[in-house]
Amino acid sequence: MDLFKTMAKEGHEQLVVSTDSETGMNAIIAIHSTLLGPALGGCRFWYYKTFDEAATDVLRLSKAMTYKAAVNGLNLGGGKAVICARPSEKTPGLIRAFGRFVDSLAGLYVTAQDVGMTLADLEVVREVTRYAAGVPEDKGGSGDPSLMTARGVTAGMRSCLKEVFGSDSLRDRTVAVQGLGKVGRHLAGLLHQEGARLTVSDIDPARVKVVAEETGAKVSPPARIHTESCDIFAPCAMGGVLHSATIAKLRCRIVAGSANNPLANWSDASLIHRRRILYAPDYVINAGGLINIACEMEGYQKDRAEERVSGIAGNLSHVFARAKEEKITPLEASNRIVEERLAKARAGQPGD
């Protein structure tokens, strides 16, 4: 991997690496852009086999955060962090070392919760830096962002249904949910309340059992969930699940979920489009958690945060309208909206 070439091509500003021999902390922070504001993005606690694998992940995720903030009208840039370790290696000392790493960037990057990190971990981070958001509500923060992310995805699904079927009702619509982590479980519950019929999968059988009992969902093996016949396929696990082989087997009308970077490559959006399947760009539909945290940074008011998260439906409608007008894919349309806003920022012009 040629880091300089990759970063230049994708427009990244910085990739910062830190180690701490005392605690065993090995972490990377990627800052894609600070044109619109400080780079905000969660920290992922995950075991990567190689440095290249970790760097590739954090670079892709940080760029998605820039796009997510920009398309949703937030005055924030995009960043992401990864702590490269197994779950069994997590200790308060290691998390504090990561917090000191974040603090060393003096606010250029603000961290938050992501896969493998908990609210308790963020509290430990806050012991050594103020540049952490999404802390517990009893500490003056906005709390776990996963429910807001799920609410935003639900709102976005309504926009997708309106586009495809002419009605935004979820009642009796079939949704296949891939991944039942925090967001996936919340999403399944919200969809069940709306009267949707669910098929679910996860690599953890215990999660599947709980959600199936709570919602009456049909259960599908993880390797086959994308092949289920449904109105909406909702990827809510790790990224890279949609590529030529899996896209060819989709049996849905809509792809809309909470996963970051579900496409193996952005060019795969064209494969979905050619199959006449509507793709909701991930960084538009899954922005609820980011919007919630942005509200915390402004002085958290839950009602205001919920209202802004519901606006994801309107953002998606705008993306779909532009895609139709310009005869491009929804992902190309959302990318253009982002790139136009960033270009204005570079030129010192006010944003939309």
Q: Is 278 exposed, middle or buried (0-12, 13-18, 19+ CB in 10 A)?
A: buried
- Determine how many CB atoms are found less than 10 A away from the CB of residue 67: 25
Q: How far is CA 307 from CA 14, 64, 81, 108, 164, in A?
A: 34, 23, 28, 28, 24
* Short-list 285, 252, 269, CA closest to 331: 269
- Distance separating alpha carbons of residues 207 and 347, to the nearest angstrom: 49
Q: Which residues contact 61 (CB under 8 A, 6 or more apart)?
A: 30, 41, 44, 80, 260, 261
Residue 214: partners with Cβ closer than 8 Å, 6 or more residues away: 188, 189, 192
Closest CA to 6 of 78, 61, 58, 56: 56
Cβ neighbours of residue 13 closer than 8 Å, sequence gap 6 or more? 31, 32, 33, 34
Distance CA 183, CA 150 (A): 6
Counting beta carbons within 10 angstroms of the beta carbon of residue 193, is it exposed (0 to 12), middle (13 to 18) or buried (19 or more)? exposed
Known catalytic residue at 80:
yes
CA dist., res. 277 & res. 217, Å (int): 23
Task: Out of 80, 90, 249, 324, pick the active-site residue.
Answer: 80
Taking a C-beta distance cutoff of 8 angstroms, is the pair 187, 153 a contact? yes
**Cβ contact 348:298 at 8 Å:** no
**Cβ–Cβ contacts within 10 Å for residue 9, how many?**
9
Q: Which residues are catalytic?
A: 80
